[in-house]
Chains A and B, each alone.
Chain A
């Protein structure tokens, strides 16, 4: 009888334990943010890695998201002659949801996994121990810069993704489907609010925190050589993606009431 409870409870306990460890890591990274030495260059390097180098993938995802949205909503709105609403609908969808979420998922796949792999490799090849022996905190040197870069860069990427998505939607809607460009833009201006964009950006900052934190956590607690690194990388992507989608629901329910 006890065994049943035990086996049922173990995954739960493991989950709680893991969650606790992630939070502790976050707290420690936050504490290190305010303690000298301040590693702005390292942060900047990570900002380049997370932000600048993700630009291609974000541009492509953003553009096609906007384009396909225009195509899909056009067919729906045409049924009652509301083609003019395509622009505002896709802009709302992109700024509120798709821009932040897709950007975060793409960056998770590209940068989050790389974080887990890089830190994981450093862990199994004793590079993290080496940092300790040189009196350098790996949390400050490796994890804090990645989290800061995630929080700062995701909103920037999202802005770019939002913009390119709307441009893509405009291209399909106005150039290919012959929606009047004036009406297309006017509806966007009329219906979309500044808050829609800003709330999307706040969300994306949260996603940036999640993907960086999960990637770093998985890498930092890697064991078992090269195989362990591979496992950590996969897990970091899966966990971060799920966490992003779940947190998206709660953030949305708080913001867009």
Chain B
């Protein structure tokens, strides 16, 4: 430990602090660092009582966003939800307010819709899910049910219980009794007629037997006809058999029609009807069904779509920035200029190309000492090549609020670390480069503040552990434009029309 230089100790110490801060802010601010991005959707609630800004929005208990705004519109609560960009919602998604825990924290739950529905776009409105029975309504409904049950049982009791009920029951029994007796009496009274009817039936069946005997040949003909018909039926079945075999092999235009939903449906129906006729058709139905209903196919399709989506998104986040910054160095009272091109393929990664005009240029220091009669005079010569431009080429990667850079810094190798605050409005950076064994490395600390888009101010210390007296405080400013801004800017310029 004692062999470490002061710079190393302090640097190490500060880096530990920043790492711990980064770790804690990542843990604690789990979603807040993405507060800036995501899509807004809105939903009307009958009541947003207990809901507040920044409470979580969840799907199946997983936080997918935050409540961004609550306002009143047409007597209802209009709640704007900011959903994390990696969450895909369907148009038929529903929102509901839920309560969690004993303390009654409110949050918004999204109930996903079917996979078939189209994706929702930012700014769209979704509907409120059927209000979930909270304890109060549940109690109310239960109360009503209990009332009804009570009424029902009461009237039932009225019907069956008491003298009146008993009386009516008894009268029903009496009536039934009377009816049975009457039936009995009628049967007995008409005994003769019944005998006659039975005798008629007997003679009719005898006559029928006679007819049968006489026409037995005719009946035989009918049976033969029926047999022929059933044979024809058999050949028809064979024909169908043939067709289905062909479908199975994919022959004919039916194969092409497989993708048509209506065809599939009717085919499905046909196949279902034919199922009872042959086993072969039964097998055929299974194969096609598999093609249509199999989960894996659907998943494969979805995966492919997600891939395409990702690609489109990637194109979307690709940015190029042009940037100029000037730094006024108090020590040398001169201005240092940087012109940079920042290519940012993804939000968390960029490449930086920079040309730097350093007024101090490249310095060569030469000391000549002469001693005449014990008097020492020292000549201090500094050779400066002012015309030489320096360049930087760096690659940067960002982890949450922490950015790391490496590559060429002002024509020498170096590394840098950035920390972003307040939605990237404030950036603290520490750069170390020009590692020369004969002198201290070039360390630069700066703070960039961006009060409005495209313009930032900057301040810091340059070369602050220099052992050649080059340390300097500086202030600066810069402008930065993305390619899109330039496009907009150019298109806003009126073009003279001839």
Contacts and interface: CB of A to CB of B under 8 A. Distances in A.
Contacts of A197: 21, 24-25, 28
A78 interface: no
Contacts of A52: 9-10, 13
A165 to B, nearest CB: 11
A155 B14 CA distance: 10
A188 B20 CA distance: 16
Q: Binding site of B, secondary structure by majority: helix, strand, loop or mixed?
A: helix
Contacts, number: 85
Nearest to A50: B10
A156 B14 contact: yes
Interface string A181-209: 00001001100111011100100000000
Residues of B in contact with A, size category: 20 to 34
A40 B471 contact: yes
B28 A189 contact: yes
A163 B10 contact: no
B17 A38 contact: no
Contacts of A40: 461, 464-466, 471
Contacts of B469: 37
Interface in B431-478: 461, 464-466, 469, 471-473
A38 B28 contact: no
Contacts of A37: 469, 471
Interface string A107-133: 000000000000000000000000000
A51 B10 CA distance: 8
B6 interface: yes
Contact of A38 (B7, B13, B32, B472): B472
Nearest to A55: B13
Nearest to A40: B464
A43 B443 CA distance: 14
B472 A36 contact: yes
A196 to B, nearest CB: 8
A242 to B, nearest CB: 27
Interface in B235-278: none
Nearest to B464: A40
B473 A34 contact: yes
Interface string B8-32: 0110011011101101110111101
A160 interface: yes
Interface of B: 6-7, 9-10, 13-14, 16-18, 20-21, 23-25, 27-30, 32-33, 330-331, 421, 461, 464-466, 469, 471-473
Closest 5 CB pairs of A and B: A156-B17, A40-B464, A194-B29, A38-B471, A163-B20
16 contacts: A35-B330, A36-B331, A36-B473, A38-B461, A40-B466, A40-B471, A44-B464, A51-B10, A51-B14, A52-B9, A156-B16, A160-B16, A163-B20, A189-B27, A193-B28, A194-B29
